[in-house]
Structure 1
Amino acid sequence: MKRFAYARRQMPRVLQGPVRADRRTKVLAKRLEPGDIAILHHVDLDEVAADALIAARARAVINTAPSISGRYPNLGPLKLVRAGIPLLDTTSTDCLHLHDGARITLQDNRLLHEQRVLGTVTWLDEDAVLTQMARSMKNVRAELELFVDNTLTYAGQEKHFFLSDLPNISLATAMQDRHVLVVVRGPTYRDDLRAIASYIQDLRPVLIGVDGGADALVEAGFRPDLIVGDMDSVSDQTLRGGAELIVHAYPDGRAPGLARLEELGLTPHLYPLPGTSEDVAMLLAHEQGAELIVAVGTHSNMIDFLEKGRRGMASTVLTRMRIGNKLVDAKGVSLLYGRSVDWRAALVVAGAALVPIMVLLWLNPATRNFLHQLVLNLKLLWS
């Protein structure tokens, strides 16, 4: 048995299929067809990216950057391999230039295209991923120290933006004294939206999608009232869905997301502020007089921010300090909010439903005779 297991581990690994390549994972995930081999360049593959690749039903994933660099234990690679999607690292970037649909062959540690070797690959199975994650745990304390220092440094530089009057824009969507739901496409956004579906249906909060969070709302069956962000990860269809659009601009006025909306013939608002787009969405709701701000999928810890590519969370700390107790997490809402069952109303509905059934039964001669005999037998039995 041991000899057989050893032989099985030594069997050559071969994989073939069409490819689609892009350095930007979120762009690539939208282009993937089921069965494609995804080629990307993503240092420390994050959980959200892994979810997108799984949802796109990628045949395999080839990363031209380290899937786990060792800085911190990112969860994306583990999600991929546990979903049954082969993950391979390669140092070759030639494969990033392959045209869509080009067929490649992965044979052991070689990556081939039209019989030409493009480079070597390293297969990352679950054991290899867990081993690398365990090693990266040793670096967490040092990474946390750098993260805290970075947060404090930028908090000192950005505090005047958050302590002074923020930009005032006139919106068609009223938020004064209303609940506002801010949706970010974070690791748990699908579960969070399912958990608070009844809250959304009953209280009708203002729905703000942050970039891809707007698509998340549409997927869950809701229509965003506002879309906030860089506009780089939300679909054209959702952008054209009628929501008010707020482009997150840099403090100096530059707004990279504006060009895309202009190409689509859409006119947005600009909101210049340092920090993340989810910070902008929350501050906007706060400044517009929201009674309560409920956050879905937002980033709130070091791992979240490192996976987002940020080395600190100064703006997020300052945003939460300014908003105060108006901000709650969707998980808390799902625990506190739920529909209570009115049993009296339920009995009335059930009784009303039985009335026409009893009338129909009584009008049927056969049923009426049966019921008549049943009543006579019960009387005899009683006497």
Structure 2
Amino acid sequence: MTALFRRRRAVVDGGPGTSGPARVDPRTKNLTKRLRPGDVAVIDHEDLDRVSAEALVACRPAAVLNAARSTSGRYPNLGPGILVEAGIPLVDDLGPAVMSVREGQQLRLEGAEVHTGDRLVAEGTVQDASTVEANLDKAREGLSVQLEAFAVNTMDYVHRERDLLVNGVGVPKVRTTFEGRHALVVVRGYHYKEDLAMLRSYIREYRPLLIGVDGGADAIIEAGLRPDMIVGDMDSVSDKALTSGAEIVVHAYRDGRAPGQRRVEDLGVEHVVFPATGTSEDVAMLLADDLGAELIVAVGTHDTMIEFLDKGRAGMASTFLTRLRVGSKLIDAKGVSRLYRTRISTWQLVILALAGLLALFVALATTNVGQTTFGLAGAWFDDLVNFFRSLVGIAPAPTT
């Protein structure tokens, strides 16, 4: 994070002129669906994560107002730094009063104070490069506690899900055929857009089954593709994706409760229910593995402690053990766009093309065939010039 602020220490003071219509939602991922440039985003998001911050930046709001603390100190989350780096004013710890603002109400930010008209709505803490860095330093001290919690969570998951992990007990029957095929599991995680774009040639050649995990299905559609299957609790996937013809697998709790099932039923879409502990991306991988997928390629999935804390989960045992179960079948494509990027500029390509044409010209000029070709081309050009001269009443040029 320190390097991030060295590149650009943007000081955000939320001074006069920072104003706009309020867009209010306690769930950031829902808010970004309707947030427009110039709006003021009002959220209630403790420990603002990287993916949510990047989605906010893409919407280009005038400011982000957080009722909660953007960094609580549990772990070093990257969201606040991303907003500050983008030059977007961030005021957090405003309290529940700011969530009472009406949708579309005009807000004005003056330092740490939020006003509507002449009324003070709430006062919080302005975040800038220095405060974000200080918060991260304090949060790093709490990682040992989180690591211990992950270890405990892992043992608990083994006890609860050993039949599913070892024998595949509980995996539902689906109509999609996985046997002998590749499966591409897409999650809206870090760098998912860039990584999905880098895999286009692989998708064209191998035609893998495209599995969208909740909002990952929309990512597949945005890339100009169609998902074959959607797995998740259906809280962040669009109706367009759910009605795209993909097979729907609703991830349910172990006791059978499936909050997302009602939504799918209301849309009249056929579906199956998969009760399992863990994350929906784990469920997608276990399903593909158990049904005979030859290879599983994962894009945007979560596999580190920071990423799981960013996701708001108390532990990563499900993913840790799922990856042990899937084993060598799993190819993690997350970050492939950062691993390789072309370093050839447009000008370099132009110069290379010109050099190639020059080499071709020289090669032709030294052969009889090339000289004959150039002679014919020259005669054709002379005829064309004389034709246009005759059109305007000028005598043809003398031939040599």
Alpha carbons 1:111, 1:118 under 8 Å: kept: yes
Give, in whole Å, the separation in 2 of the partners of 1:178 and 1:11.
54
Mark the CA change 1:132 to 1:78 in structure 2 (over 3 Å): closer, same or farther: same
Give, in whole Å, the separation in 2 of the partners of 1:187 and 1:269.
28
Alpha carbons 1:169, 1:269 under 8 Å: kept: yes
Alpha carbons 1:90, 1:119 under 8 Å: kept: no
Which residue of the other structure, out of 233, 242, 247, is the alignment partner of 1:239? Answer: 242
RMSD, aligned α-carbons: 2.9
1:346 corresponds in structure 2 to none
Give, in whole Å, the separation in 1 of the partners of 2:14 and 2:190.
35
2:395 corresponds in structure 1 to none
Which residue of the other structure, out of 380, 383, 387, is the alignment partner of 1:366? Answer: 380
Q: Which moved more, 1:193-202 or 1:58-67?
A: 193-202
DSSP-derived class of the 1:150 partner: helix
Over the matched positions of the two proteins, sequence identity in percent amounts to 50
Give, in whole Å, the separation in 1 of the partners of 2:229 and 2:273.
13
Alpha carbons 2:12, 2:128 under 8 Å: kept: no
Q: Which moved more, 1:108-117 or 1:78-87?
A: 108-117
1:323 corresponds in structure 2 to 326
Give, in whole Å, the separation in 1 of the partners of 2:270 and 2:89.
43
Give, in whole Å, the separation in 1 of the partners of 2:14 and 2:319.
48
Amino acid at match of 2:225: F
DSSP-derived class of the 1:176 partner: coil
Q: TM-score, normalised by structure 2?
A: 0.79
Give, in whole Å, the separation in 1 of the partners of 2:155 and 2:290.
25
1:266 corresponds in structure 2 to 269
Amino acid at match of 2:259: P
1:377 corresponds in structure 2 to none
Give, in whole Å, the separation in 2 of the partners of 1:184 and 1:307.
14
Q: Stretches of 4+ moved more than 3 A in 1?
A: 9-12, 331-336, 361-365, 367-370
1:110 corresponds in structure 2 to 113
Mark the CA change 1:109 to 1:367 in structure 2 (over 3 Å): closer, same or farther: closer
Amino acid at match of 2:145: A
Amino acid at match of 1:13: G
Alpha carbons 1:159, 1:318 under 8 Å: kept: no
Q: TM-score, normalised by structure 1?
A: 0.83
Pairwise CA distance, 1:161: 3.3
1:148-191 CA-to-partner distances (Å, cap 9, x unmatched) read 22323333333233223333433332211011000011112122
Pairwise CA distance, 1:221: 1.9
Mark the CA change 1:292 to 1:209 in structure 2 (over 3 Å): closer, same or farther: same
Pairwise CA distance, 1:364: 9.3
Alpha carbons 2:39, 2:62 under 8 Å: kept: yes
Alpha carbons 1:89, 1:124 under 8 Å: kept: yes
1:203 corresponds in structure 2 to 206
Give, in whole Å, the separation in 1 of the partners of 2:327 and 2:193.
26
Q: Which moved more, 1:262-271 or 1:297-306?
A: 262-271
Alpha carbons 2:191, 2:335 under 8 Å: kept: no
DSSP-derived class of the 2:287 partner: helix
1:217 corresponds in structure 2 to 220
2:15 corresponds in structure 1 to 13
1:165 corresponds in structure 2 to 168
Mark the CA change 1:366 to 1:53 in structure 2 (over 3 Å): closer, same or farther: same
The answer for unaligned runs of 5 or more in structure 2 is: 1-10, 341-359, 361-371, 385-400
Give, in whole Å, the separation in 2 of the partners of 1:144 and 1:255.
30
Which residue of the other structure, out of 301, 306, 331, is the alignment partner of 2:309? Answer: 306
1:379 corresponds in structure 2 to none
Pairwise CA distance, 1:369: 7.8
Mark the CA change 1:203 to 1:66 in structure 2 (over 3 Å): closer, same or farther: same
Pairwise CA distance, 1:76: 0.8
1:76 corresponds in structure 2 to 79
2:291 corresponds in structure 1 to 288
Q: Which moved more, 1:223-232 or 1:237-246?
A: 237-246
After TM superposition, list the pairs within 5 Å mapping 1:29-48 onto structure 2: 29-48=32-51
The answer for unaligned runs of 5 or more in structure 1 is: 1-8, 337-349, 351-357, 371-383
Alpha carbons 1:247, 1:268 under 8 Å: kept: yes
